[in-house]
Structures are given as structure tokens and as C-alpha cells.
Amino acid sequence: MAQIKPQKAQMAHNTRSGPEQGLLFIISAASGTGKTTLAERLVQILPNPRMSRSYTSRPARAGERDGGDYNFVSRARLGARGRRARQALG
């Protein structure tokens, strides 16, 4: 995996201010490719980072814990969350 150098993390200039503004990183890749490692490293080197946790309806794998790695929910609950999100967006 490529090494991230923490000396200077350059941020895009944002003309709006406030606690809700910032950068969004979406890290998507196949299982076992280092997504968590990359996200944890970004948290170490970027100012004021926040991480989100995904919801999934798949069963937990060995060593995974609910609320840690993912939020594990039933398919019905995941579907209901999706419907509510779509309604909120209009």
C-alpha cells in the first residue's frame, strides 16, 4: 500500500465556514484491500476528522463487533432506513 506522508495534509480552500463544512472522503474497495487502514491513517493526519460507520445486513464476520466495525441490522431495518432517507431528501 502507498505510504501517506503526514508532514502536510493539504486541504481544499472552502469559502463557506461553520462546523458543517469540510471535506468528505468516500473510501470504497473490495474486502481486504486496506480501507480501514487508510481511514485510520487519515484520522491520524487530518485536522478534526470524523469517521462514519456503515450499516450492513450481512452477518458479522469473525472478530467484527456491532457498533465497532459496522452497525449490523436486519434487511428489513436497513430497508426502512433507506426509505426514510429517500423521503427526507424529497
Q: What is the pLDDT of residues 33-89, one digit of tens each?
A: 998 899 889 989 988 888 788 899 999 999 999 998 789 999 999 999 999 999 998
Let me know if residue 64 belongs to a domain: yes
Let me know if residue 67 belongs to a domain: yes
Let me know if residue 90 belongs to a domain: yes
Which residue type is seen at 8?
K
Let me know if residue 59 belongs to a domain: yes
Predicted structure pTM score: 0.54
State how far the Cα of 45 lies from the Cα of 5, in Å rounded to an integer: 9
Let me know if residue 40 belongs to a domain: no
Structural domain harbouring 68:
53-90
pLDDT of residue 50: 80
Q: How many domains does the chain have?
A: 1
Let me know if residue 30 belongs to a domain: no
Does residue 18 surpass a pLDDT of 90?
no
Set of cell numbers at residue 89: 431528501
Does residue 21 surpass a pLDDT of 90?
no
- Residue 78 neighbours by CB distance under 10 Å: 16
Let me know if residue 61 belongs to a domain: yes
State how far the Cα of 57 lies from the Cα of 52, in Å rounded to an integer: 17
